[in-house]
Structure 1
Amino acid sequence: MPHPTACLALADGTVFHGMGFGAVGTATAELCFNTAMTGYQEIMTDPSYAGQVVCFTFPHIGNTGVTPEDDETADPVAAGMVVRWDPTAPSSWRAAEDLGTWLARRGRIGIGGVDTRRLTRAIRQQGAPHVALAHDPEGNFDLEALVAQARGFSGLVGLDLAKEVTTRQSYRWGEGKWAWGEGKWAWGEGFAAPRPDARHRVVAIDYGAKRNILRSLAHVGCDVTVLPATATAEEVRALNPDGLFLSNGPGDPAATGEYAVPVIREMVDSGLPVFGICLGHQLLAMALGARTVKMNHGHHGANHPVQRRRDGKVEITSMNHGFTVDAQTLPAGVEETHVSLFDGSNCGIRLSGRPVFSVQYHPEASPGPQDSAYLFDDFAAAMDRAKDDAAA
């Protein structure tokens, strides 16, 4: 049996050995688990995973390879990945590269051969641990030093990561959703010209935006301009938008909220339709007067049932968050619209009588697969109504 070439050291002193792939080196981060059976490339390139190593509960990761079309950002953002079985050679006709080569080229570490069930149980029981993940082809590891690195990780509480993953300059998005059966995007390619028949001007504040969210906004008729996380209210108003979108992103919402919440509050007060997802949901809730709290191990997966309170409909959703809105702190006039059927935590809010709403989960990620796509239509309809009211 070959000697281990990678190890995962937890802050409590537990060490898992396995076979390394991807980049060589060491990474320190928080460890979370994800229960999705597909979408490992989208997960690794989701900016919301900044500062985290992802343990995949599904054992067969890497078997379909990777393709640029599935990237949610230009490069992987998660610090590393932990899998049960070593990645095999790609078996999909869409594969442009194997997972290990892709990770190595982008400086991300992988470890295979780990008992991910044991690791997942530990996370559920003890909370998301701080870890050091190391890959050395020679198998030389200073275990005491790695455990010390894990213990020295500052954690995500109080950490503003949105500034690290946000765009550095504004841009207009120009790509539609995938046209199934045609093997291409509905129009455009990334940063090409925006949708020619767009009827709504939308400003999207990028706290770590996924590309498929921008595609979904464009799909319902939005000409989307993306601004950095630190955009001011004046910069938003200068674009004369019909609506404001608040993106997903990593880190502690309270830290990002120090500069984001005043901007969001000013936009809400202006009467502009507002829609938020994930971190955007948490920031909107804070702008309306609620608070957020760190979860024990968070929600990460593509199989999370969420109930819509107005009619009891259950949506199968994709989630990725380690903080949550404390529903007990929602002020009067803010309605809880969705709740998790796993633990009852808040999954959506709406400002009563106003076109302002948000959800904790990812309606663009197709877990149901289209259970929650209506939310983008709701946003477009809210902008239509706002225009009609302004013209009346």
Structure 2
Amino acid sequence: MYNKSLHLVLEDGTVFQGKSFGYEAPVAGEIVFSTGMVGYTESLSDPSYLGQILTLTYPLIGNYGVPKDESHQGISTFYESERIQASGLIVSDFSFEYSHWNAAKSLGDWLKENKVPAVYGIDTRELTKLVREKGTMLGKLVFPGEPDIPFVNPDDENQVAKASCKKTIVYGSGKHKVVLVDCGVKNNIIRCLLKRDTTIVRVPWDYDFNEMEFDGLFISNGPGDPAFCTPTVNNIRKAMQTGKPIFGICMGNQLLSLAGGASTYKLKYGHRSCNQPVQLVGTQRAFVTSQNHGFAVDNNSLGAEWEPLFVNMNDGTNEGIRHKTNPWFSCQFHPEASAGPTDTEFLFDVFIRTLEVKNIPIPKLIEDELDAKSVLKQVYRGIEKGSVKKVLLLGSGALKIGEAGEFDYSGSQALKALKEEGIETVLVNPNIATVQTSEGIADKVYFLPVTPDFVERVIEKERPDSIFLSFGGQTALNCGVALYKNKILEKYNVRVLGTPVQAIIDTEDREIFNQKLSEIGVKYIQSEAVTSLKDALRAADKLGYPVIVRAAYALGGLGSGFCDNEDELESLVTKAFNYSPQVLVEKSLKGWKEIEYEVVRDRYDNCITVCNMENFDPLGIHTGESIVVAPSQTLSNSEYYKLRELAIRIIRHIGIVGECNVQYAFDP
């Protein structure tokens, strides 16, 4: 079915051989690549890919299928436009089978319906390296032995005119009337505006909207070279004369810049990914963003009344501008995401605020919106760089070979980083079969149990000024909490680096943790924390069997498991209280997926997810005894980034400084 040969031919003569899994016709366009792990449905239907053959660098594509085509409020529910916009698709490995509750068809079938050719079996790593080295180039997908076609350069045509709507369309009936200049708008931009009580008047790219009554102007994303959009630029300049708020995204950033007198240029290979870091100029705020553009604004060409608002942290290119006195701003990235992270969706709220308030600078509105989204604003009260001279690190303790290698690795990296900073290090770890206890990693190693008594003796002798509790797993956390509660750290004036001890207590105590989740609207399993067998039996009777028992402060899932009746509960809870003074009795979600996210937060409240993982076994099999696949294989873009957003919301509210793991039960 998918065995017909299909070749990718580049303008420099390079040929990649693969197999067809889309519509069987040759196609030509600009070869571009995107590095997102999910979101192929959203990317393919993004009008900004018009005229381009999209290469997905993530190796396995199609595994969660394609959702059904539904509409809500006049736009597609799951797609970013009404059809696939990319001219073709290139992947390494196509998943012939798909698995997802919302899937209605395979990716291959969807491509055929839209008459879009696609090829798999391509070395996308080699192709990406080639594009990075030589720059974006033209290419074509052709079937060997069949008629050839010429190369096509999409930059030779006005792609915005092709992508834009042909007539005025009105959405919603909200409080604020927004004119949306459609340069190839994504549906999620419309969704984001509608969620914020707006009436949207969508007009074609060259439509003169200045005779209309409206509150604010929005300039959308779109494909191709902004130089073709002279009518749009002229209309924006007319709108500027009214002083009304203006917000632009992607192509909108470039067109607003051109209207302000700046210039644009073509990037070597563009920014197309779900993980581009940008920085809010003048601050330590950084955001992970979704991007899809081949042109950029020249910062040096901005006039005296304009300044960069965001900058790309990889290559220093412009990621947004703002006017110094008027409510006009833009971003080169996609705050609406889809595909990608939703970290900057608050910019839509900033735009709405410009419609409601006057004379407040855009950076101040951004800070206000970020603060408004925090139930509890975490203020960093840690140690300034340079004041740390000697650090004690608690290791993972006596674990079996093959267990908890992540603690050994992370602890070793922490010790190396401290050494690079010229900081003296002391390690407590009784396990000689670890990397971190090797010669040269720490300045001093104590092969002692990681218990409060032994650690206090080490503190008394070595007199460190600081301590790390988060690199030794549950053993080190429990020890650190005991040292804190017994005022040992206070006695010897030892400061805790990274996550505060109270935050550790808040996450380890099941009842406190659930309360913290409820404060920020995160769902958690119906449960009750108990400290006696009698209370456990009562809680289980109230929740109804089957239930899950979890021991707080316990290593590796000790004392945890499923109970179908009173006898099983009594046996397991009795065992659990041998490991912990507190046990959580939860309503059973046996059979649900178990998903994990590794999340990092720094002192400036910047957050990233290192990776996510999907347990091969359903919930109920402890991670240590299960196969874990990283990254997840069956989550769609919306699910992936919803869980990511929740993980970041959780660690911000609790006040984690450093890394932590957030685990979910996910209804399949």
The TM-score bracket by the shorter chain reads 0.7 to 0.9
Task: Encode CA deviations 1:43-98: one digit per residue, 9 max, x unaligned.
Answer: 00000001100110001111111112321000001001100002322211110111
SS at match of 1:372: coil
1:250 pairs with 2:223: yes
1:213 pairs with 2:189: yes
1:172 maps to which residue?
170
- CA–CA distance in structure 2, aligned partners of residues 272 and 159 of structure 1: 32
1:127 pairs with 2:135: yes
Correspondence 1:97-246 to 2 at 5 A: 97-134=105-142, 136=143, 140-141=145-146, 145=148, 149-150=150-151, 153-156=152-155, 158-173=156-171, 194-195=172-173, 198-232=174-208, 235-238=209-212, 240-246=213-219
Counterpart of 2:89 in structure 1: which amino acid?
M
Task: Encode CA deviations 1:253-281: one digit per residue, 9 max, x unaligned.
Answer: 0112x211100011012111100000011
1:279 pairs with 2:251: yes
1:370–1:387 CA distance, 2 compared to 1 (3 A):
same
- CA–CA distance in structure 1, aligned partners of residues 342 and 139 of structure 2: 35
1:95 pairs with 2:103: yes
1:190 maps to which residue?
none
List gaps (5 residues or longer) in structure 1: 174-193
SS at match of 1:230: coil
Correspondence 1:215-364 to 2 at 5 A: 215-232=191-208, 235-238=209-212, 240-256=213-229, 258-364=230-336
Q: Is the 8 A contact 1:262 1:287 kept in 2?
A: yes
- CA–CA distance in structure 2, aligned partners of residues 317 and 6 of structure 1: 34
Q: Is the 8 A contact 1:221 1:380 kept in 2?
A: no
Correspondence 1:18-29 to 2 at 5 A: 18-29=18-29
Counterpart of 2:234 in structure 1: which amino acid?
P
- CA–CA distance in structure 2, aligned partners of residues 366 and 115 of structure 1: 26
- CA–CA distance in structure 1, aligned partners of residues 95 and 253 of structure 2: 35
1:42 pairs with 2:42: yes
Counterpart of 2:334 in structure 1: which amino acid?
H
Displacement after TM superposition at 1:140 (Å): 3.0
SS at match of 1:73: coil
- CA–CA distance in structure 2, aligned partners of residues 312 and 199 of structure 1: 35
- CA–CA distance in structure 2, aligned partners of residues 340 and 305 of structure 1: 6
- CA–CA distance in structure 2, aligned partners of residues 77 and 386 of structure 1: 39
- CA–CA distance in structure 2, aligned partners of residues 14 and 370 of structure 1: 37
TM-score norm. by structure 2 comes to 0.51
SS at match of 1:25: coil
Counterpart of 1:165 in structure 2: which amino acid?
A
1:265–1:251 CA distance, 2 compared to 1 (3 A):
same
2:581 maps to which residue?
none
- CA–CA distance in structure 2, aligned partners of residues 30 and 155 of structure 1: 7
SS at match of 1:96: strand
Task: Encode CA deviations 1:300-335: one digit per residue, 9 max, x unaligned.
Answer: 000000000132210000000000001110110101
Q: Is the 8 A contact 2:3 2:20 kept in 1?
A: no
- CA–CA distance in structure 1, aligned partners of residues 17 and 334 of structure 2: 33
- CA–CA distance in structure 1, aligned partners of residues 157 and 293 of structure 2: 14
- CA–CA distance in structure 2, aligned partners of residues 59 and 70 of structure 1: 23
SS at match of 1:101: helix
TM-score norm. by structure 1 comes to 0.86
Task: Encode CA deviations 1:183-228: one digit per residue, 9 max, x unaligned.
Answer: xxxxxxxxxxx15xx2200010100000000111111221111001
Counterpart of 1:52 in structure 2: which amino acid?
Q
1:65 maps to which residue?
65
Displacement after TM superposition at 1:22 (Å): 1.4
- CA–CA distance in structure 2, aligned partners of residues 74 and 140 of structure 1: 34
Displacement after TM superposition at 1:3 (Å): 6.1
Displacement after TM superposition at 1:4 (Å): 4.8
Task: Encode CA deviations 1:330-368: one digit per residue, 9 max, x unaligned.
Answer: 110101110001100000100111110000000001677
Counterpart of 1:81 in structure 2: which amino acid?
L
1:10 maps to which residue?
10
- CA–CA distance in structure 2, aligned partners of residues 267 and 61 of structure 1: 44
Range moving further from structure 2, 215-224 or 316-325: 215-224
Q: Is the 8 A contact 1:18 1:111 kept in 2?
A: yes
Q: Is the 8 A contact 1:253 1:279 kept in 2?
A: yes
List gaps (5 residues or longer) in structure 2: 70-76, 361-668
2:365 maps to which residue?
none
Q: Is the 8 A contact 2:290 2:341 kept in 1?
A: no
* Count of aligned pairs between the two proteins: 351
Q: Is the 8 A contact 1:10 1:129 kept in 2?
A: yes
